[in-house]
Amino acid sequence: MFKYDLTDRLKKKLIKLGKRDKILAEIFKKKLMEIVNQDKTAINSYKNLKAPQNEFKRIHLTDNFIMLFSVNLKEEHILFVDIMHWDHAYK
């Protein structure tokens, strides 16, 4: 099990998301726990973004939204960076 943190930007988005779209907020919580409970080998199954953002991994929350996160395997720490529409994530 990994330790994790959320960026300030993501915290602000989650506050708004909790008010506007409760279903997406619940999906986020489930995916967060799914990622945190992975072991070191299984965490590599998530895809990296392409350069220049290749330090981030992604997971689809819905058809349109993805969550970006980075993994530090040495410290067993995950930093959840952002939730965004997939059109904006790949620019």
pLDDT at 8: 97
* pLDDT (mean) for 36-49: 92
Sheet holding 77-85, edge to edge: 3-6, 77-85, 65-72, 57-60, 47-48
- What ranges do the domains of the chain cover? 3-89
pLDDT for the residue numbered 87: 86
Query: Could you count the other beta carbons within 10 Å of the beta carbon of residue 83?
Result: 21
Q: Indicate the CATH number of 3-89 among 3.40.50.2300, 3.30.2310.20, 1.10.150.120, 3.30.420.40.
A: 3.30.2310.20
Reported as a single tens digit per residue, the pLDDT across 10-41 is: 999 999 999 999 999 999 999 999 999 999 99
- In this predicted structure, the answer to whether residue 90 has a pLDDT above a threshold of 80 is no
For the record, the structure tokens of 3 come out as 């330790």
